[in-house]
Amino acid sequence: MRSAPVEGKAELSGASWKGPERTISIAPGKKQMLTFYSGPSLNGRELTLKAKSNLGELVSRYRAEFISCPVGTPQNFAQAKLPKTGQLPRMASRDHLIPNDPENGYEGAEDLSVESAVSYDKEKLYLAIDVRDDIHRQENTAERLWAGDSIQLAIDTRADAPPYVYGFAPDD
């Protein structure tokens, strides 16, 4: 937590915004949410947030990806090849690592990559996930499985999660 107040400006680029600049004013130990409104679709765009403050400058880049979940029982989820319908973006770069730490030893798609697809019908959710990992390592107990080689899936059944609040509610 910061012990000094942050004052400055933030600017979001990469799309047409109704006012791309916001004032930053954050008291010690607090946070501030910035809301931006965009007219056109953000799907597939790279967004850049630049902040200049009394504590320095920051540049962060984000990629917006929105994918629909198609309705229908898939015909080939049990096959060796993933179905085309419902394919999610291929995760085969450092961009998809959490945390994205240069010291984590990631050496490219042969080291770790994921291809997946999703679909649903009125009774089931279908997930097809193809993972390439040169060395599978998971030495954590149940409450920390996310910290090793794993895939984590959370479903908010009521779509009632407040924005930017992490963790799970009993109905998730």
Shared-domain flag, residues 57 and 21: yes
**Residues 31, 76: one domain?**
no
Would 163 be classed as within a structural domain?
A: no
Question: How long, in residues, is the chain?
Answer: 172
Residue 73 shares a structural domain with residue 118: yes
Same domain, 86 and 116: yes
Q: What percent of the chain has pLDDT over 70?
A: 86
114 and 84: one domain?
yes
Q: How confident is the model at residue 76 (pLDDT cuts 50, 70, 90)?
A: low
pLDDT of 48 > 80? The answer is yes
SS (H, E, C) 70-94: CECCCCCCCCCCCCCCCECCCECCH
Q: Is residue 26 part of a domain?
A: yes
Q: Could you tell me which residue, 107 or 132, shows the higher pLDDT? A: 132
Same domain? 87 vs 117? yes
Comparison of pLDDT for 76 and 104, the residue scoring more: 104
Quick check: is 158 in a domain?
no
Per-residue pLDDT band for 163 (boundaries 50, 70, 90) equals low
DSSP one-letter code for 158:
T
Band (166; pLDDT cuts 50, 70, 90): low
What is the distance of C-alpha 100 from the center of its chain? 12
Residues 55 and 100 in one domain: no
Residue 21 covered by a domain: yes
In a domain, 171, yes or no: no
Contact 32, 9 (CB under 8 A): no
* 40 against 80, higher pLDDT: 40
106 and 48, same structural domain? Answer: no
Q: Report the chain's mean pLDDT, rounded to a whole number.
A: 81
Mean pLDDT over 126-154 rounds to 82
Kindly state whether residue 16 falls inside one of the protein's structural domains: yes
Q: What pLDDT is stored for residue 5 in this prediction?
A: 93
> Which residues lie closer than 8 Å to 163 by C-beta, 6 or more apart?
33
The more confidently predicted of residues 49 and 110 is: 49
Side-by-side strand order, sheet with 46-53? 21-26, 6-13, 46-53, 56-63
Token code pair at residue 159: 């779509």
- The DSSP-derived string for 103-150 is GG----TTTEEEEEEEEE-SS-EEEEEEEEESS------GGGGGGSS-
Please count the structural domains in the chain.
Answer: 2
Whether pLDDT at 128 is above 90: no
Query: In terms of residue numbers, what domain contains 48?
Result: 6-63
Is residue 167, in this structure, part of any structural domain at all? Answer: no
Between 31 and 81, name the one with better pLDDT: 31
